[in-house]
């Protein structure tokens, strides 16, 4: 109970700070420099009294950002939470950020979008090697096979650290170069443990869990919608990645089996038939996951990281630059659309009033927006410090009354 009170108090303290964060520019947040110099681990340690609450908060941050809390700016976390609708929105599954999946996998979305464009619009296997903006009116992009494309504007919709793989003419400004080196990708491996049957469902469980110990931090039921391929998907995050990455498949199957058997309290968890793993860091043009995290220098480097180049002819997109839902596909879409509008403003196709406009998408029919508010009990539940002070005062009062009664009897 004490740990629960402490956790509730810490999460609400974070939410109160979140409301003070500037939504469009975190560097303009009150007390931004001090918040930026504090790591998430330091902040959580300061806000929590109990080890139980601290461990849950540490794990929650690692699950959302795929980074150890000691490496991330507290201001960066507050801004991330602010842009994604609060602590409950990013931590909850039902009606939260992890609510649903795309039937067929998200990999089908890009080909479906490409199919709606004129043939030849999307060019595959064309990694960009150089971007030349020395001409006053055009930008020339050269691919690894030597093919060149000339345009009036270019949008870079890739992670900050991946932008460093491109050679720029003229060279990047020093502030931009330093900023891109700071914003690193998270580190995670997605594991899949396949079974003959979804035994957890027979136990009345949904397969979802978050753990502060073990080989994976987060697990979810990944059985196909038609019931085939019973599977539990598990995320290995941050420090867990090196361990999982070094394991042969047989050892990984044993380790995952032991983890799920203990987690669900059933020996059938050991009966893993096969495993599969996916590591985003092995993808050449991604380099990590879930997204870029904010280092303890956000106030110094954020503006340079998101700034356009060549007087607005080279624009920066990607989920890391989103004004809403950074780190998610929603954020990537918002950033891409905004960069596209800015490009049209740059070439005179849209008025200047459209520059940097944030487009709020209409509500999804399949996933209607559901507010996630604190209940009255959660809002009015005292902090652990208040609880201890109140309990101490009550005990002192009782002791004083008893002492008075004892003295009056004498």
pLDDT tens digit string along 38-58?
A: 999 999 999 999 999 999 899
Cα distances from 366 to residues 99, 369, 371, in angstroms, run 11, 10, 16
Residue 390 within any structural domain of the chain = no
CATH number assigned to the domain comprising residue 129: 3.50.50.60
Mean pLDDT over residues 355-365, rounded?
82
Please tell me the predicted confidence (pLDDT) of residue 370.
79
Residue 120 within any structural domain of the chain = yes
Domain of residue 65 covers 2-100+375-380
Listed residues 282, 310, 342: the one ending a domain? 282
Cα distances from 41 to residues 54, 63, 236, 336, in angstroms, run 9, 14, 19, 32
Listed residues 257, 282, 307: the one ending a domain? 282
Q: Are 231 and 252 in a shared domain? A: yes
pLDDT over 80 (residue 345): yes
Q: Are 19 and 164 in a shared domain? A: no
pLDDT over 70 (residue 391): no
Task: Give the pLDDT band of residue 171 (cuts 50, 70, 90).
Answer: very high
Distance in angstroms (rounded) separating the CA atoms of residues 195 and 380: 45
Task: Give the pLDDT band of residue 127 (cuts 50, 70, 90).
Answer: very high
Q: How many domains does the chain have?
A: 3
Q: Are 114 and 90 in a shared domain? A: no
- The three-state secondary structure class of 58 is helix
Kind of pairing, strands 128-132 and 167-169?
Answer: parallel
Q: Calculate the CA dihedral of residues 253, 255, 257, 262 and round it to 10 degrees.
A: -170
Say if residues 347 and 155 touch (Cβ distance below 8 Å).
Answer: no
Mention every residue, 6+ apart, whose C-beta is less than 8 A from residue 389: none
Please tell me the predicted confidence (pLDDT) of residue 384.
59
Residue 349 within any structural domain of the chain = yes
Report DSSP state, residue 24: S
Task: Give the pLDDT band of residue 123 (cuts 50, 70, 90).
Answer: very high
Q: Are 79 and 213 in a shared domain? A: no
């Amino acid at each position: 109970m004490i740990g629960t009170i402490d956790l509730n108090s810490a999460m609400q303290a974070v939410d109160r700070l979140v409301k003070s964060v500037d939504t469009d520019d975190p560097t303009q947040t009150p007390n931004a420099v001090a918040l930026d110099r504090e790591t998430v681990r330091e902040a959580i340690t300061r806000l929590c009294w109990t080890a139980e609450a601290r461990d849950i908060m540490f794990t929650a941050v690692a699950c959302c950002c795929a980074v150890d809390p000691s490496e991330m700016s507290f201001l960066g976390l507050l801004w991330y939470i602010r842009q994604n609708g609060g602590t409950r929105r990013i931590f909850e599954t039902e009606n939260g950020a992890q609510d649903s999946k795309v039937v067929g996998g998200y990999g089908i979305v890009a080909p479906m979008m490409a199919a709606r464009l004129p043939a030849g619009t999307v060019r595959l296997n064309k990694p960009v090697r150089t971007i030349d903006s020395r001409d006053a009116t055009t930008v020339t992009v050269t691919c690894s096979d030597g093919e060149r494309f000339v345009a009036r504007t270019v949008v870079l919709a890739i992670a900050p650290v991946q932008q460093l793989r491109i050679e720029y003419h003229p060279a990047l400004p020093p502030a931009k170069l330093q900023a891109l080196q700071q914003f690193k990708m998270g580190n995670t491996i997605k594991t899949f443990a396949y079974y003959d049957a979804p035994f957890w469902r027979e136990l009345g469980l949904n397969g979802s869990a978050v753990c502060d110990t073990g080989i994976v931090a987060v697990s979810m039921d990944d059985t196909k919608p038609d019931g085939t391929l019973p599977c539990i998907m598990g995320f290995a995050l941050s420090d867990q990645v090196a361990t999982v990455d070094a394991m042969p498949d047989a050892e990984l199957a044993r380790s995952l089996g032991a983890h799920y058997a203990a987690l669900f309290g059933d020996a059938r968890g050991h009966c893993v038939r096969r495993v599969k793993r996916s590591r985003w860091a092995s993808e050449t043009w991604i380099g990590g996951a879930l997204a870029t995290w904010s280092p303890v220098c956000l106030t110094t480097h954020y503006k340079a990281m998101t700034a356009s180049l060549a007087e607005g002819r080279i624009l920066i997109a990607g989920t890391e630059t989103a004004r809403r839902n950074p780190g998610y596909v929603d954020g990537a879409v918002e950033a891409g659309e905004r960069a596209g509008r800015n490009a049209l403003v740059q070439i005179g196709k849209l008025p200047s009033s459209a520059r940097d406009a944030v487009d709020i998408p209409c509500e999804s029919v399949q996933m209607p927006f559901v507010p996630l508010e604190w209940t009255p009990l959660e809002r009015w539940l005292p902090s652990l410090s208040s609880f201890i002070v109140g309990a101490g005062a009550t005990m002192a009062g009782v002791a004083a009354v008893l002492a008075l009664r004892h003295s009056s009897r004498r």
